[in-house]
Amino acid sequence: MTGHTVTDTPHDHPAAARGTAGVPASARRRVLSGVAVIVTGLVCALAWGLGAHAGDAVLRLSAVGDGSPILQIRVPGRQAGLVLGAVITLLGAWQLARGFSRRAMRAVSAVVVGCFVLAFLCWAGTGQPGTPVSVFGLLQQSIFAAIPLILGALAGILCERSGVINVAIEGQMLTGAFTAALAATMAQHAGAGIVLALLAGGLMGLLLAVFAIRYAVNQIVLGVVLNLFALGLTSFGFDLLMQRDPDAYNNPSVLAPLKIPLLGDIPLLGPLLFDANILVYITYVLIIGVQVSLFHTRWGLRTRAVGEHPKAADSVGVKVRATRYRNVILGGLVAGLGGAFLSIGAVGAFGAGMSNGKGFIALAAVIFGRWSPRGAVGAALLFGFADALQTLSSAITMPVTIPSAFLSMLPYLVTFLAVAGLVGHVRAPAAGGVPYMKG
Amino acid sequence: MKLELRTITKRFGSVTANDRIDLVVEPGEIHALLGENGAGKSTLMNILYGLHRPDEGQILIDDAPVSFGGPGDAKAAGIGMVHQHFMLVPVFTVTENVMLGHEPTKGLAFLDRRRARRRVTEISHRFGLEVPPDAVVADLSVGVRQRVEILKALSHDARLLVLDEPTAVLSPQETEQLINVIRTLRDAGTSIVFISHKLREVCRIADRITVIRRGAVVGTADPSASEGELASMMVGRPVRLTVDKVPAEPGEVVLDVRGLSLVGDDGVVLVDDLTFSVRGGEIFAIAGVQGNGQTEVTEALVGLVKPTTGSISVAGRDLGPLSTGEILDLGVGYVPEDRLRDGLVGDFSVAENLVLDLYDKPPFARSGALDLARIEADATARVREFDIRPPETTRAAGTLSGGNQQKIVLARELSRPLKLLIIAQPTRGLDVGSMEFVHRRIVAERDRGTAVVLVSTELDEVLGLADRMVVMYRGRIAGEVPAGAPAERIGLLMAGSAPDDQAAVPPGDVASAGVR
Ligand SMILES: Nc1ncnc2c1ncn2[C@@H]1O[C@H](COP(=O)(O)OP(=O)(O)OP(=O)(O)O)[C@@H](O)[C@H]1O
Ligand SMILES: [Mg+2]
């Protein structure tokens, strides 16, 4: 609690005018993050700049073999690393000396991460100078890997913003994946798969809601149990039906990409974002929809109130339990959709336990994204990028052979730094995990 | 609006919080509810507001029976309520808090923040309750939060307004302002139910007074009744409203504060170069309007915040390198201002809360294990001594009435050997009977040789208890006042105007005056 005189704003306070003695905590954070950015910049310049071989790196920005014009840029790798490192270092120095505003700092962190990654790619391209590095492929794969994570994270946000912790995203996705494959095969129609995946996820959500809200079961334990339940159920179904007769039960076709006219023709962005399957477009809509409604609609305000201080919400007539039910079920629907993407959106078949921890990574994205859709998308993209990097290392020869395990760790490390140092501390919805009981 | 409550009964397990209560509030009437801590006032009002369901009884509005499924229904029926404990979402802005539940929208359910903000400024001007509409509530002081809470209740044009201890955290000026607001509303035809433990303001403002004891109505009183009459009606025995004490016999210096300054995160100087010392066996009071740095001083004294500059020592030991736990182990007792947040774990039982900072030491722990029988016996004794109601040590502390929660913290801190007692707003939210008791306990603690630092915004309390006192204004000591100085002098200092005679020592001389 701040202690200035009740009727005064801090600026009227005579003591404020007299200046400050000592270093307040915000200044300390500024110094820390400034130093962190400078170190990142120096690492960038040293490793990716000086560590690069002589010669040019070629970065390809277009897909290969689809007839579209080839788009590639050629940059001297060493110089690129040094310049990008210098840019990062300068940003860090500015933060250290003057400090960016909170809002500007978000953009700055994005630029820092972007520069660092770009420098890395230039460095990687000098391993065999002249051989193109497919930046397009890398980005495409990142997005592809990020989509289910984003849907899972949105599911988590919907639940947790209303005060119910959702550890069961994994199970909800798995159920969705199973149902989508089964329904799409049996009905011979992808739409049936999507609809039933939604329903299956929603049902899992309902199960979570009933036990968490009505019976006040510990939500972490409940989530774990639901995950095991989903794993058992889908594996059983897989053995019973899909293994025996894959053609009749597990042979959905992969959702076909739909190219959006005009938008799909934009160089680089078009093929990257607007030539994908229907689930990807639904994801775009959901991202914007959840972000906007959470912060700008009546539903969003009430949801957040219920997640922060249910008693206060109740005292002004907001129905706490109803709000939570609705949000948890909505979350289940969205997670089910994420599951559908795994089976009929990407692979074209269900495999036992195919969610493979993605639900938990989505949960991490919720936290790293500070419970906001925008942040979670950023985090999910970083995780997606981690996935894509591993394949890159096997596709090209780098100046130094980096173990792929290390490569896949790198983006997590960057995320960790970004969250710990640059974004500030994370705060979960205050009433998360606490059931609401009335006297 | 005419309100009638008929034979309302509410039981929580073995406790009958309301026992066949009848109450009639006429249109345009200010009806005060008086009662001890735990008498059932808040419960009754929560029933009226739809937060609790009555076990028996009926609510009639304008002579028609109504039944509320939840606060939404009560709101729709024209009832507004300011709750005893804040019902504000800390991460929301003032505007968001005020509009929650009846948000103005445009288009497809989009929030119309502009309109909501205009509404906030409009009613805040109309009633003279200034609030910053865009500030986040977590950043506001308690007094401003209370104003937001009141605005929230006013914002949907309630025809019956319930105010449950709205003045507990307000400064005298703010209370004055609130009383004016209430009168304006009354004159416009709004019915008011007003709950307070401050008898003087109840007598000033009420048209009618109903007294509740142990869940049942014991009678009604006229506002012209004396405070003493009301007090004994409430408590069921005569109550002394003044403090009895013999002159202090100060001993050695126990607490020595030199040049203490504290700077907040945002660079604002909260405490500015404070120097004072307190001897054993005396009560040193820090008076002042809420938010002038007193809270920060007490937090620094127990190591919850580290001084930006300056030093603090207790019985000759520098507190600089010590943690809060180590400081408390030196024999420092601490009763924080916001006891419900900083002094109590709501889900723990009363007994557990009573040993919260002692559980790991003898006699409550032996060779690493808790001695539960001992804890229980001790808790029972203290519950009896401090008259904590209901007298069940296994109950979750959070389910006790506001005043009884306060008593738990007081009982814990006042029941171990102390060298120094730091006590902030000791009687906030307590009924007159408990107040009398707590005052006696503080004086007894002093007489045992403990140095007492008392922080209070209540002028009567400070005047009654203090052996020496200073007034804090904007982080500084505005002046030291001898015991027995006239109240107006102190009031002036609290408002920031320098006195023109030697009733107060100018700030620079406080150090020498303090050490004597
Ligand atoms: N949710 C609850 N669960 C169990 N007991 C409760 C609950 N709420 C109130 N009580 C009990 O009901 C009784 C009346 O409490 P109430 O809060 O109405 O008192 P009050 O008159 O408002 O007191 P105060 O002046 O201290 O605020 C108390 O004994 C309290 O312990
Ligand atoms: Mg009460």
The answer for B 65-94 residues in CB contact with A (under 8 A) is 70-76, 81, 83, 86-92
Q: Is B387 in the pocket of ligand 1 (CB under 6 A)?
A: no
Question: pLDDT at residue B487 above 60?
Answer: yes
To the nearest whole angstrom, how far is the Cα of B209 from the nearest Cα of chain A? 26
- The closest alpha carbon to B146, from B132, B160, B166, B122, belongs to B166
Is the pLDDT reported for residue A425 higher than 60? no
A-chain residues near B289 (CB < 8 A): 5-6
B37 C-beta closer than 6 A to ligand 1: yes
A435 falls within a domain? no
- Cα–Cα distance measured from residue A192 to residue A182, given in angstroms and rounded to the nearest whole number: 9
pLDDT at residue number B164: 94
β-strand partners of B160:
B79, B191
Residues B292 and B200: their CA atoms lie apart, in Å, by: 25
DSSP per-residue string spanning B203-239: HHH-SEEEEEETTEEEEEE-TTS-HHHHHHHHHSS--
Residues in B closer than 8 angstroms to A304, CB to CB, are 89, 91-92
Sign (positive/negative) of CA torsion B510, B511, B514, B516? Answer: negative
Residue A428 falls inside a structural domain: no
- Among left, alpha and beta (phi > 0; psi -120 to 50; other), residue B214 is left
In chain B, which residues have their Cβ closer than 8 Å to the Cβ of A162? none
**How many A from CA of B44 to the centre of ligand 2?**
9
Q: Cα separation of A122 and A81, whole Å?
A: 7
Average pLDDT over residues B449-473: 91
Q: Are residues A240 and A328 in the same domain?
A: yes
Mean pLDDT of the region B487-512: 58
Partner residue opposite A316 with nearest CB, options B52, B71, B91: B71
Q: CB distance A298–B109 less than 8 Å?
A: yes
| List of chain A residues whose C-beta atoms are within 8 Å of the C-beta of residue B72 | 316-319
Q: Which residues of B touch A10 (CB under 8 A)?
A: 266, 268
B257 and B151 assigned to the same domain: no
Question: What percentage of chain B exceeds 90 in pLDDT?
Answer: 49
Q: Is A309's CB within 8 Å of B290's CB?
A: no
Q: Are A133 and A396 in contact (CB under 8 A)?
A: yes
Whether A313 sits inside 8 A of B132 (CB atoms) is no
The answer on A256 and A171 residing in a single domain is yes
Does residue B515 carry a pLDDT above 50? no
User: Is residue B47 in some structural domain?
Assistant: yes
Q: Determine, for residues A301 and B91 on separate chains, whether the beta-carbon distance falls below 8 Å.
A: no
- Cβ atoms of A78 and A126 within 8 Å: the answer is yes
What are the structure tokens assigned to A357, written together? 């921890």
Give the minimum alpha-carbon distance from B76 to chain A in angstroms, rounded to a whole number.
9
Burial class (CB in 10 A: 0-12, 13-18, 19+), A271: buried
Classify B397 as helix, strand or coil: helix
Last residue of a domain, one of B170, B202, B235: B235
| Cα gap A6→B449, rounded to integer Å | 36
Domain boundary among B383, B400, B415: B415
Give B312-348 pLDDT, tens digit per residue.
999 999 998 888 889 988 999 998 887 777 778 888 8
Taking each continuous run of H as one helix and of E as one strand, the counts in chain B are 18, 24
Q: List the single residue in A24, A302, A319 with the smallest CB-CB distance to B265.
A: A24
In a domain, A266, yes or no: yes
From atom 3 of ligand 1, which residue's Cα is the shortest distance away?
A: B399
Is B444 in the same domain as B455?
Answer: yes
How far is the C-alpha of A369 from the C-alpha of A290, rounded, in Å? 14
Question: Of A301, A314, A319, which has the smallest distance from its Cβ to B111's Cβ?
Answer: A301
Instruction: Mark whether A307 and A348 lie in a shared domain.
Output: yes
Instruction: Tell me: do A123 and A143 sit in the same domain.
Output: no
What is the chain B residue with the closest CA to A427? B91
Considering only CB atoms, A312 lies closest to which of B76, B89, B293, namely B89
Helix or strand run (H / E) with residue B454? strand B451-456
**pLDDT above 90: residue B356:** no
| DSSP, residue by residue, B11-70 | EETTEEEEEEEEEEE-TT-EEEEEE-TTSSHHHHHHHHTTSS--SEEEEEETTEEE--SS
CATH of the domain at A273: 1.10.3470
State residue A411's pLDDT score: 60
Q: Residue A342's domain spans which residues?
A: 136-422
Q: Provide the pLDDT confidence category of residue A8 given band limits of 50, 70 and 90.
A: very low
Question: Are residues A115 and A177 both part of a single domain?
Answer: no
Residues B79 and B100 occupy one common structural domain: yes
Atom of ligand 1 nearest to the CA of B390: 29
Residues A195 and A101 in one domain: no
Q: Same domain for A86 and A234?
A: no
Ligand 1 pocket, residue B198 CB under 6 Å: no
What is the pLDDT, as a whole number, of residue A83? 94
Side chain identity at A52, as an amino acid letter?
A
Split at pLDDT 50, 70, 90, the class of A26 is low
B40 lines ligand 1 (CB under 6 A): yes
**pLDDT bracket for residue A405 (50, 70, 90):** confident
Site from B92, B100, B175, B471 to mutate, A interface, most A CB atoms within 10 angstroms: B100
B89 belongs to a structural domain:
yes
Q: A313 and B296: CB-CB below 8 Å?
A: no
What is the band of B413 on the pLDDT scale with cuts at 50, 70, 90? Answer: confident
Question: Is B190's C-beta closer than 6 angstroms to any atom of ligand 1?
Answer: no
Which segment, A57-66, A287-296, B168-177, B284-293, is predicted with the most confidence on average?
A287-296
Same domain flag for B164 and B60: yes
Q: Looking at A79, A106, A131, which one is the last position of a domain?
A: A131
Cβ contact (<8 Å) for A21 and B291?
no
The residues whose Cβ lies within 5 A of ligand 2, an ion, are B 42, 84, 402
B272 in a structural domain: yes
Portion of chain B with pLDDT greater than 70, in percent: 94
Query: How many other CB atoms sit within 10 Å of the CB of residue B331?
Result: 16
| Cβ pair B337, B298 in contact under 8 A | yes
* Same domain, yes or no: A116 and A142: no
Contact B22, B5 (CB under 8 A): yes
Last residue of a domain, one of B369, B396, B415: B415
Q: Which range of residues forms the domain containing residue B208?
A: 3-235
Residue B180's φ and ψ, nearest 5 degrees, are: -65, -45
Residue B48 lies in a domain: yes
Cα–Cα distance for residue pair B325/A62, rounded to 1 Å: 63
Cβ-count burial A389-402 (b if 16+ within 10 Å, e if not): beebbeeeebbeee
Residue A16 has pLDDT above 70, yes or no: no
Domain annotation covers residue B246 = no
Q: Which residue of B has its CA nearest to A302?
A: B100
Say how many domains are in chain B.
Answer: 3
Say yes or no for a CB contact (<8 Å) between B266 and A312. Answer: no
The answer to whether residues B431 and B494 belong to one domain is yes
For residue B45, the CA-to-ligand 2 centroid distance in Å is: 9
Q: Which residues in chain A have Cβ-Cβ distances shorter than 8 Å to B152? A: 316
Say if residue B407 is in the same domain as residue B480. no
As beta bridge partners, residue B258 has B311
Given a contact cutoff of 8 angstroms between Cβ atoms, the answer to whether A56 and A76 are in contact is: yes
Alpha-carbon dihedral sign for residues B214, B219, B222, B227? negative
Report the separation in Å between the CA atom of B38 and the middle of ligand 1, taken as the mean of its atom positions.
5
Distance (angstroms) between ligand 1 centre and the Cα of A153 equals 41
User: In the predicted model, what is the mean pLDDT of chain A?
Assistant: 86
Task: Please name which ligand lies nearest the alpha carbon of B406.
Answer: 1
Query: Would you say residue A54 lies in a domain?
Result: yes
Decide which of A68, A99, A131 is a domain's last residue.
A131
- Residue B371 domain flag: yes
Asked if the ipTM is above 0.85, the reply is no
Q: Say yes or no: A79 and A155 in one domain.
A: no
**Nearest residue in B to A294, CA atom:** B110
- Do the domain assignments include residue B261? yes
Mean pLDDT of B203-228: 92
Distance CA A125, CA A130 (A): 8
Best of B18, B131, B269 to disrupt the A interface (most A CBs within 10 Å) is B269
pLDDT at B123: 92
Residue B447, CA distances (Å) to A377, A384, B245, B283 in order: 64, 70, 9, 10
The token duo for B20 is: 């066949």
Amino acid at B271: V
- pLDDT grade for A269, boundaries at 50, 70 and 90: confident
Based on the domain organization, do A141 and A202 belong to the same domain?
yes
* A314 chain-B contacts, CB cut-off 8 A: 51, 70-71
pLDDT score, position A414: 62
Contact by Cβ (8 Å): B317, B406:
no
Q: Whose CA is nearest to atom 8 of ligand 1?
A: B399
User: pLDDT for A202-245, tens place per residue?
Assistant: 999 999 999 999 999 999 999 999 999 999 999 999 999 999 99
Closest residue of chain B to A299, computed from CA coordinates: B109
A400 and A301 in a single domain? The answer is: yes
Residues B262 and B216 in one domain: no
> CATH no. for residue B104?
3.40.50.300
List residues of chain A with CB under 8 Å from any CB of chain B: 1-7, 9-10, 13-16, 18, 20-22, 24-26, 296-302, 304-305, 308-309, 311-319, 430, 438-439
pLDDT at A410: 65
B506: number of Cβ within 10 Å? 14
Q: Give nearest CA residue, ligand 1 atom 31.
A: B400
Contact with chain A for residue B265, Cβ under 8 A: yes
Domain co-membership, B385 together with B474:
no
Residue A132's alpha-carbon distances to A26, A63, A390, in angstroms, are 45, 12, 17
Looking at the fold, whether B410 and B432 belong to one and the same domain comes out as: no
B406 plus B433 within the same structural domain: no
pLDDT value for B209: 96
Strand partners for B472:
B477
If asked whether residues A65 and A95 sit together in one domain, one would say: yes
Q: Which atom of ligand 1 is nearest to the CA of B406?
A: 26
Closest partner residue to A316 (CB to CB) among B46, B100, B140 is: B100
Backbone angles phi, psi at B122, to 5 degrees: -65, -55
CA pair distance B352, B367, nearest whole angstrom: 19
Q: What is the 3-state secondary structure (H, E, C) of chain A?
A: CCCCCCCCCHHHCHHHHCCCCCCCHHHHHHHHHHHHHHHHHHHHHHHHHHCCCCCEEEEECCCCCCCCCCCEEEEEHHHHHHHHHHHHHHHHHHHHHCCCCHHHHHHHHHHHHHHHHHHHHHHHHCCCCCCEEEHHHHHHHHHHHHHHHHHHHHHHHHHHHCCCCCCCHHHHHHHHHHHHHHHHHHHCCHHHHHHHHHHHHHHHHHHHHHHHHHCCCCHHHHHHHHHHHHHHHHHHHHHHHHCCCHHHHCCCCCCCCEECCCHHHCCCHHHHHCEECHHHHHHHHHHHHHHHHHHHEHHHHHHHHHHHCHHHHHHCCCCHHHHHHHHHHHHHHHHHHHHHHHHHHHHCCCCCCCCCCHHHHHHHHHHHCCCCHHHHHHHHHHHHHHHHHHHHHHHCCCCCCCCHHHHHHHHHHHHHHHHHHHHCCCCCCCCCCCCCCCC
Q: Which ligand is nearest to the CA of B427?
A: 1
Which of A281-290, B197-206, B368-377, B431-440 is the least confident region?
B368-377
| Of B9, B42, B49, B383, best ligand 1 pocket probe by most atoms within 8 Å of the beta carbon | B42
Residue A269 covered by a domain = yes
CA of B42 to the centre of ligand 1 (A): 7
Ligand 1 centre distance from Cα of residue B15 (Å): 9
Nearest of B53, A315, A110, B382 to residue B391 by alpha carbon:
B382
Q: Confidence class of residue B360 from pLDDT cuts 50, 70 and 90?
A: low
- Long-range residue pairs from A189-194, CB within 8 A, at least 24 positions apart, any chain: A190/A252, A190/A253, A190/A255, A190/A344, A193/A252, A193/A340, A193/A343, A193/A344, A194/A278, A194/A279, A194/A337, A194/A340, A194/A344
Give the end of a domain, one of A85, A100, A131.
A131
Same domain, yes or no: B161 and B49: yes
- Interval B385-408: pLDDT, tens: 888 888 888 989 888 887 888 888
Distance from CA of B240 to the nearest CA of A (A): 33
User: pLDDT grade, residue B510 (50/70/90)?
Assistant: very low
How many domains does chain A divide into?
2
Note whether B371 and B480 are same-domain residues: no
Chain A positions in Cβ-Cβ contact with residue B171 (cut-off 8 Å): 6
What is the tens place of the pLDDT at every residue in B27-53? Answer: 999 999 999 988 999 999 999 999 999
Average pLDDT for B468-490:
85
Q: Which range is least confidently modeled, A113-117, A324-328, B59-63, B403-407?
A: B403-407
